[in-house]
Amino acid sequence: MHSFSQLSAVFEQRFNKRHFPEQPVKLYDASQYILGIGGKRVRPVCVLMGNELFGDIHEDAYEVATAVELFHNFTLVHDDIMDKAPMRRGMETVHTRYGESTALLAGDVMLVKSYEFINLIQPKYKKAILSLFNTTASAVCEGQQLDMNFESEPQIEFDDYANMIALKTSVLLGASLQMGAIIGGAGLGNQQHIYAFGKMLGMAFQVQDDYLDAFGDPAKFGKLAGGDILANKKTFLLLHAMDSATAEQKKSLDHWYGQTNLDENGKKQKVEEVIHIFKNCGADNWAGELKEKYYQQALDRLEDIAVVSARKKELADLANYLMNRDK
């Protein structure tokens, strides 16, 4: 059994090469560029860990892990176009660097490329993997559409918001683990448990992400404090605050979330005041409890998987690590 960081290093070594032809240069340089921006490679490593829970890691797991990472990067490129995001992880986004049309196409060829890796696996599991991959890919697109729809909706129900987050971010974590489990020969019951473990972990992770944006230590978090607030982004915190705010607090939130072109002083004031309201509404404690609830649900489903506990240690450690990160 290997830890997340061991498998992350192994995957990175295999993945860190050019995946695309040379020509047309601009198209494939754009595709390759986003892969170099990096990230923790959580999703592909989940494929490997999902496999190893049930047996030795099969070569197929590396193919599927690569497909998943390519797919994830495809979504980043297209999401950044839709969000008109200039930067990602301190680097120019693909459309900023290569133009929107090339970024759009670069995303398309990355999605196609991901299916080439799926095609490399043994026939025995290809139908199940391809089916789960497709279902998940559609779900992620649906989540992105709902996220865009919500931008212009004044009031969003918690369940609708949680469903959007599940589609946009959590199901891919669950599916990555499940695809690994399929390759490991897991039965349907165990597949469902590990999928749910990943999905719930993804939900907890997103709550944590929203929490850290407002209450984390910016020096450690590596992002602008209150970045979500300045972008007027709907988050778990905002949803709760809008739900439990007094009339006066609600009026203030409405005011601040209507602001877009603030100067540096205005931005500072906005972040401070919004965070102040969040705290007064108890959004910080509420988010902590919500995260804990999802985390516990994830651990329960990990518990349900019918393999000896000792084998589950690395996945439990991963969950624990993701939950206690401060960045």
Exposed / middle / buried, residue 326 (Cβ in 10 Å: 0-12, 13-18, 19+): exposed
Give the separation between CA 131 and CA 257, rounded to whole angstroms. 40
Q: Which is nearer to a second copy, 125 or 295 (CB)?
A: 125
Q: Does 29 bind a second copy (CB under 8 A)?
A: no
Residue 285: count of CB within 10 angstroms of its CB: 11
Residue 202: count of CB within 10 angstroms of its CB: 26
Strand partners, 92: 87
Q: Does 1 bind a second copy (CB under 8 A)?
A: no
| Least spacing, CB of residue 306 vs a second copy, in Å | 28
Q: Which stretch binds a second copy (CB under 8 A): 51-59, 104-112, 229-237, 242-250?
A: 104-112
Q: Does 85 bind a second copy (CB under 8 A)?
A: no
Q: Which is nearer to a second copy, 66 or 102 (CB)?
A: 102
Q: Does 316 bind a second copy (CB under 8 A)?
A: no
Q: Does 108 bind a second copy (CB under 8 A)?
A: yes
| Least spacing, CB of residue 155 vs a second copy, in Å | 18
Q: Does 112 bind a second copy (CB under 8 A)?
A: yes
In the list 91, 104, 156, 224, the residue contacting a second copy (rule: CB under 8 A) is: 104
DSSP 155: -
Annotate each residue in 206-225 with x if it binds a second copy (CB under 8 A) or - if it does not, as one string.
--------------------
Give the separation between CA 232 and CA 46, rounded to whole angstroms. 32
Peptide bond into 24 cis (omega under 30): yes
Which pairing describes strands 91-92 and 87-88: parallel, antiparallel, or unpaired? Answer: antiparallel
Cα 96 versus chain centre, distance? 22
Q: Does 178 bind a second copy (CB under 8 A)?
A: no
Phi, psi of 108, rounded to the nearest 5 degrees: -55, -50
Q: Does 175 bind a second copy (CB under 8 A)?
A: no
Q: Does 19 bind a second copy (CB under 8 A)?
A: no
In the list 59, 116, 272, 292, the residue contacting a second copy (rule: CB under 8 A) is: 116
**Residue 226 contacts residue 271 (beta carbons within 8 Å):** yes
Say how many residues touch a second copy, by CB under 8 A: 37
CA 298 to each of CA 180, 204, 226, 249, 253: distance values in angstroms, whole numbers, following the listed order: 17, 9, 28, 34, 33
Annotate each residue in 135-174 with x if it binds a second copy (CB under 8 A) or - if it does not, as one string.
--xx--xx-xxx-xx-------------------------
Q: What share of the chain is helix, strand, coil (3-state, %, to 5)?
A: 75, 0, 25
Q: Does 123 bind a second copy (CB under 8 A)?
A: yes
What residues line the site for a second copy (CB under 8 A)? 23-24, 26-27, 78, 81-82, 100-102, 104-105, 107-109, 111-113, 115-116, 118-119, 123, 126-127, 130-131, 134, 137-138, 141-142, 144-146, 148-149
